[in-house]
Amino acid sequence: MRLRTYLATTRRVLAQLAADHRTVGLI
């Protein structure tokens, strides 16, 4: 697995989790 792909995927997942967390916080 390529390192760049791994980092990009990790950032995407973390960003998604952060967005979900913000949504839950707003509710």
pLDDT at position 7: 97
- State the Cα torsion 11-17-18-20 to the nearest 10°: 150
Q: Which amino acid is at 18?
A: A
Domain ranges of the chain: 1-26
pLDDT at position 24: 82
Q: What is the per-residue pLDDT across 1-27, written as a single tens digit (0 to 9) for each?
A: 699 999 999 999 999 999 998 888 876
pLDDT at position 16: 95
Instruction: Specify the 3-state DSSP secondary structure of 13.
Output: helix
Tell me how far apart the alpha carbons of residues 14 and 4 are, in angstroms, rounded to a whole number. 15
Taking the whole predicted model, whether its pTM rises above 0.75 is answered as no
